[in-house]
């Protein structure tokens, strides 16, 4: 099993949309996926209809209350399971920060899941911050996938994220974490700005950037309000087609073992 963290400290760039719909697209291709929601807001959890009041979240595994495998829930989507999030995780940052080797808590919690052989991939839906949860995600992940909105301001934090990734490597918490790729989101070819941003990002980061781009469509905003993935809400639309293409490209990269220990030195 490989752990993929979907992360960017900037909010509103499509992390949860990507975590949810990439997971669903991979599952549709027969890949066994576990979506672990580590964002206290729990948007991926609610989109999968898992807010049942049980109080289950990875917080319980981090504090040793129960094994992570006991937190895994089935979803209505074949081949897709999930570990939900709840607001208890917001307070967990202080508690986890006081633990010895606090950066390794999520890695340790997920180790039995990885060893179980029940899943091909675990997708981590990370919160929009550089706090304990993101640091733990970077320490637990084999690779990270970074969604970037097709706007110049969205690029500002990318260098900082890469620096944090290097710090995690250099600290010894996860020396092998690699960059799966950069994903351009909310793309609108009708504007002059979006194609210009994409061109600049590709010039700087080259093969690190996925060929697939996620279009801007109102359907992505509608789907969560109905508790659906984009495939359930608009199966024949541009959004569903884009995430299907992303899943195919992701699997090709994985088959060819394409990952990037370091992004190009230049920053956008």
Domains of the chain (ranges; CATH) run 2-255 (3.40.50.300)
Whether the CB-CB separation of 73 and 56 falls below 8 Å is answered with yes
How would residue 183 be classed by pLDDT, with cut points 50, 70 and 90? very high
* Residue 222 confidence (pLDDT): 92
pTM beyond cutoff 0.75: yes
Mean pLDDT of 111-131: 93
Distance, in Å, from the CA atom of 61 to the CA atom of 46, rounded to the nearest integer, reads 20
The larger pLDDT score, comparing residue 227 to residue 210, is at 210
pLDDT digits (tens, 9 = 90+) for 124-163: 999 988 788 889 999 999 999 999 988 777 677 787 888 8
Going by C-beta distance under 8 Å and a sequence separation of 6 or more, which residues neighbour residue 100? none
Where is average pLDDT lowest: 31-45, 98-112, 134-148?
98-112
Looking at the predicted structure, is the pLDDT value of residue 246 above 80?
yes
Instruction: Give the contacts of 251 (CB within 8 A, at least 6 positions apart).
Output: 26, 29, 31
Distances (CA, A) of 136 to 32, 38, 93, 185, 212: 23, 10, 10, 25, 28
More confident residue, 246 or 264: 246
Closest CA to 52 of 25, 82, 20, 84: 84
* Sequence-separated (6 or more) residues with CB below 8 Å from residue 194: 150, 151, 186, 187, 188
Convert the pLDDT of each residue in 47-85 to its tens digit: 998 876 567 888 888 888 899 999 999 999 999 999 999
């Amino acid at each position: 099993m490989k752990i993929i963290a979907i992360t960017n400290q900037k909010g509103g760039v499509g992390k949860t949309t990507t975590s949810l719909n990439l997971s669903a697209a991979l599952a549709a291709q027969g890949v066994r996926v576990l979506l672990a929601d580590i964002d206290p807001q729990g948007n991926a959890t609610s989109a999968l209809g898992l807010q049942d009041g049980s109080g289950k979240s990875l917080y319980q595994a981090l504090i040793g209350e129960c094994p992570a495998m006991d937190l895994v829930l089935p979803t209505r989507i074949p081949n897709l399971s999930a570990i939900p999030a709840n607001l208890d995780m917001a307070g967990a940052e202080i508690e986890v920060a006081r633990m010895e080797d606090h950066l390794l808590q999520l890695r340790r919690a997920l180790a039995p899941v990885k060893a179980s052989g029940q899943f091909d991939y675990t997708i981590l839906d990370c919160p929009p911050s550089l706090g304990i949860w993101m640091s733990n995600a970077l320490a637990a992940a084999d690779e990270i996938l970074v969604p970037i909105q097709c706007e110049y301001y969205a690029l500002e934090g990318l260098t900082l994220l890469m620096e944090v990734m290097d710090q995690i490597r250099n600290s010894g918490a996860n020396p092998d974490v690699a960059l799966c790729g950069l994903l351009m989101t909310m793309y609108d070819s009708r504007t002059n700005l979006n194609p210009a941003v994409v061109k600049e990002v590709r010039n700087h980061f080259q093969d690190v950037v996925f060929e697939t781009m996620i279009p801007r469509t109102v359907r992505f905003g509608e789907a969560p309000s109905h508790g659906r993935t984009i495939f359930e809400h608009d199966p024949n639309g541009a959004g569903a087609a884009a995430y299907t293409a992303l899943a195919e490209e992701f699997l090709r990269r994985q088959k060819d073992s394409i990952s990037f220990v370091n992004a190009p030195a230049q920053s956008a």
